[in-house]
Amino acid sequence: MLPSSSKTLLLALLLTTLLLLALLLTTLLLLTQHTTVHALPKSKPKSIPSNTQTCKTHDQGYGILSYDVRIGHPYSAEKCLEVRKGLKAAHAGVREFKCKEIAGAPGGPGGPGGHVRLTFEISGGGKRKINEALDEAFPIIASGAGGFRCRGR
């Protein structure tokens, strides 16, 4: 016959083993079940009326500004290259430049073909030069909207 302290120790060991076994089985069950991961839907860039513009600026810190410019002008790859060259000539710190097509205004000129969305970052100041480069690339927008008004330093 085992002393009572040995019986208690043996019982504790048995209970611990059973709990660990239950935990292991639960973990295995969870790992082997088919899990469906739902990706978040991509948000579609919002359209903008023809011959208008919006410009959002976000201060990233460390002297870096990010720009999100939507332009109600028909999208073309040639225009994107022209804008990129103009921005880089106006401000040496332009980086992460992207030019994408977004939905145009329904029924407006350039509507079905889509409009322009520019995103880029700059380091340092120079908002005036950025606005001037955009005015030069899109004179019809600049004349009708009073020029680009992207904020910054």
pLDDT along the chain (153 residues), means of 10: 75 77 64 46 63 89 90 91 91 89 61 80 80 90 79 67
Q: What is the CATH number of the domain that holds 90?
A: 3.30.70
Residue 22 inside a domain? The answer is: no
* 80-99: burial string, b at 16+ Cβ within 10 Å, e else: beebbebbeebbeebeebeb
pLDDT at 37: 38
pLDDT at 41: 42
pLDDT at 35: 41
pLDDT at 39: 42
Would you say 48 and 72 are in contact if contact means Cβ atoms under 8 Å apart?
Answer: yes
With a threshold of 0.75, does the pTM exceed it? no
Residue 150 inside a domain? The answer is: no
Tell how strand 115-123 and strand 95-102 pair up.
antiparallel
- Domain count within the chain: 1
pLDDT at 144: 74
Residue 45 inside a domain? The answer is: no
